[in-house]
Structure 1
């Protein structure tokens, strides 16, 4: 099977997706627990769990990017081991 994207793009997407998952997961947990710095204080009505649900949807999308781009990168590694000529 041939890779669909270049090696640099695949590995860059993998690294960016990993950092996005980490950062967005922390933000989602803080919103889910109605952290006062993010939802405007203790006395305001907060919609932190709704925001957290949206953030976790983005985490799942980035997880899909991580899997796809990681597999593309591994295809490039496998192709280079077989002696393919990169143009």
Structure 2
């Protein structure tokens, strides 16, 4: 298989996806625990677990990006070594 995206784009996607997964997971856990800093003041959402569920869906989307871009990085590294079978 050949990579679909460039190596720089694949690595950028991997880094951004890792950071997004970590940050959104922390935010989702804060909303799911009904932390008063996120759900107690005026103008904030009242149903913390519903907000956390939508944040966790975003985490799953970023996990899908991470898998796809990680596979693209793998394909680039394999191509730079001479293909699937190296005779060196």
Same fold (TM over 0.5): yes
- In structure 1, list runs of 5 or more residues that go unmatched: none
What is the CA–CA distance in structure 2 between the aligned matches of 1:55 and 1:14, rounded to whole Å? 19
Name the residue aligned to 1:17. 17
- In structure 2, list runs of 5 or more residues that go unmatched: 84-88
Name the residue aligned to 2:28. 28
Name the residue aligned to 2:51. 51
Q: TM-score, normalised by structure 2?
A: 0.87
The list of structure 1 runs, each at least 4 consecutive aligned residues, that deviate by more than 6 angstroms after superposition, is none
Q: How many pairs are equivalent?
A: 81
Change (3 A) 1:66 1:45: closer
Cα-Cα RMSD? 1.6
